[in-house]
Amino acid sequence: MPNRSDSLPFLTRRQFSFFVAASAMGLLGRSSGFAVAAAGSKPAAGLAPLFPLASHTADSFAALMEYVPQVDPDAGFFQSRVPRAVRIPAFAPAQAHPRLSPEPQVATLTGCYRTLGEQADERYKRQRYGTPPPDGVYVTRFIGYHDVVVNWSGPGVIPNPAMTDAAHRNGALCLGTIFQPDKRIFDSSMVPARQVAAKFVELAIFFGFDGYFMNFEMGTPEGHNQVLDLLGMMHQEAHRLGKMDFYIQFYDGSASMSRLMPVADGAPAVSFADSTMLDQGWSGYSMTHGCCSGQPTDAESVYAYCIKKGLDPYKSAFFGYQLYPGPGYLCLSAPSVIHPNDSATAYGSLQLYSFDDGLHTMQAAKDQRDGKPATGALSQEEYYTLERCFFSGQSQNPALNNTPNPEQARIYADVAGGARRYTDYEPGQDHPTDQVKFPITYGVANFTVEHSVIGAFPFVSHFNLGAGEGFFLQGRKVSNRPWFNMGIQDLLPTWQWWQEPMHGGLHREAAKYAPLNVRYDQSVAFDGGASLHISGRLQAKQSVALRLYKTQLRVENADDLRLHLVWQGAAEMKQALSVGLIFQDAPERTQWVAFSQASRVSHQALSNGWVRSELPLADYLGRTIAALLLGFETAGAKRGTAQVDVHLGEIFAGSGSGQKSAAAPQGFAIEAYAAASETGALNLRLCWKREANVASYDLFCVSGNAAKRSWLGRVYAGCYYAENVPREPGSAVRFELTSTSLSNPLQRSLPAEVELKAD
Q: How confident is the model at residue 270 (pLDDT cuts 50, 70, 90)?
A: confident
When the pLDDT of each residue in the chain is averaged and rounded to a whole number, the result is 88
Polymer length in residues for the chain:
759
Least confident of 106-115, 124-133, 170-179, 287-296: 287-296
Share above pLDDT 90 across residues of the chain, in percent, rounded to a whole number:
72
- Give the pLDDT of residue 264: 82
Q: Which domains does the chain have, with CATH numbers?
A: 1-71+661-759 (2.60.40.10), 92-446 (3.20.20.80), 459-654 (2.60.120.260)
Alpha-carbon distances, residue 417 vs 296, 423, 738 (angstroms): 18, 13, 62
pTM over 0.75: yes
Q: How confident is the model at residue 27 (pLDDT cuts 50, 70, 90)?
A: very low
Interacting residues of 375 by C-beta distance below 8 A, sequence separation 6+: 118
Predicted confidence band at 385 (pLDDT cuts at 50, 70, 90)?
Answer: very high
Q: Is a pLDDT exceeding 70 seen at residue 457?
A: yes
E strand or H helix at 17: helix 13-24
- pLDDT, residue 539, reads 87
pLDDT band of residue 729 (cuts 50, 70, 90) is confident
| Phi, then psi, of 407 in degrees rounded to 5 | -65, -40
- Residue 399 CA to residue 645 CA, distance in Å, equals 24
Out of 251-255, 553-557, 755-759, which region has the weakest mean confidence (pLDDT)? 755-759
Tell me if 693 sits within 8 A of 743, measured CB to CB.
Answer: yes
Residue of 517, 520, 519 lying closest to 468 (CA atoms): 520
Mean pLDDT lowest among 352-356, 504-508, 620-624, 715-719: 504-508
Q: Pick the residue with more confidence: 11 or 630?
A: 630
Strand partners for 109: 150, 353
Q: What is the pLDDT of residue 573?
A: 87
Regarding predicted confidence, which is higher, 267 or 406?
Answer: 406
259 — pLDDT class (breaks 50, 70, 90): very high
Average pLDDT over residues 101-117: 95
Average pLDDT over residues 33-55: 48
Span 377-406, average pLDDT: 93
Q: Which of 205-209, 286-290, 355-359 shows the lowest mean pLDDT across its residues?
A: 286-290
Judged by DSSP in three states, 626 sits in: strand
Radius of gyration of the chain (CA): 26
Of residues 372 and 449, the one with the higher pLDDT is 449
